[in-house]
Amino acid sequence: MQTVDLANTPLRELNTALQAQAVTTNQTQWEVLNPKGAHAIAVGLDAPIEVTVNGSTGYYCAGMNKQATINVTGSAGPGVAENMMSGTVVIEGDASQYAGATGHGGLLVIKGNASSRCGISMKGIDIVVFGNIGHMSAFMAQSGNLVVLGDAGDALGDSLYEARLFVRGSVKSLGSDCIEKEMRPEHLEILRDLLERSGADARPEEFKRYGSARKLYNFHVDHAGAY
């Protein structure tokens, strides 16, 4: 176990050491102490290592992650796991706005609540939120899965493409071109797998599925008011 105390070690030095594991992966377990809300902790990793951040983080923690497993024992600021490619990021507390934005792959688990624009423009990432999510979540989401065990705020899935949204609680409102859809057997299997992988205590049958009505893919004058 490699332990780095950010009270004594510059953040740039920590990230340099973690990113170096992409060349020589011989230190697979890392512990980060005293993050104290620092920004951009454990960004740009590309190795099958495990990093535990003991405390809360600022902007863009675990951004651009590939392969690594990153655990944050506290809460995370805006843009956690932004542009994530693969691996796993687990936030034990809450996440601020645009968690998992533009993520291409991997699994992001938020065990508390997520703020506005969770999963904005997601491109293949899987996001599981144990609590609630804020307004405009999954805005322009293109692919991947967003699973919410709690409630969703206004304008869920606005301008959605082909991402799948699963919500167990209530939805305050749906965004443009987002509709409730049939939950078919293949969707129950996808959801069951994500719930098991994230350790969520819920049954797939408790959720509703939302997706794109596919009316805004191309401009049509009859739909001009929806743009």
Q: What are phi and psi of 196, to 5 degrees?
A: -65, -45
- Which residues are registered as beta bridge partners of 152? 133, 171
Task: Based on the fold, state whether residues 54 and 19 are members of the same structural domain.
Answer: yes
pLDDT of residue 219: 61
Task: Based on the fold, state whether residues 131 and 217 are members of the same structural domain.
Answer: yes
193 is a domain residue: yes
pTM: 0.95
DSSP 169-208: S-BS-B-TTEEEE---HHHHHHHHHHHHHHT----GGG-E
Task: Based on the fold, state whether residues 123 and 218 are members of the same structural domain.
Answer: yes
- Check residue 191 and report its DSSP letter: H
101 is a domain residue: no
Q: How many CA atoms lie within 13 A of 164 on its CB side?
A: 20
Task: Based on the fold, state whether residues 80 and 184 are members of the same structural domain.
Answer: no
**pLDDT for residue 221 is more than 70:** no
The whole domain housing 194 covers 109-227
**pLDDT for residue 181 is more than 80:** yes
How confident is the model over 22-31, as pLDDT tens digits? 987 778 999 9
Task: Based on the fold, state whether residues 62 and 118 are members of the same structural domain.
Answer: no
Q: What are phi and psi of 14, to 5 degrees?
A: -60, -50
Task: Based on the fold, state whether residues 124 and 39 are members of the same structural domain.
Answer: no
pLDDT of residue 225: 66
pLDDT of residue 27: 86
| Contact by Cβ (8 Å): 97, 117 | yes
C-alpha 69/C-alpha 84 separation (Å) is 11
77 is a domain residue: yes
pLDDT of residue 180: 98
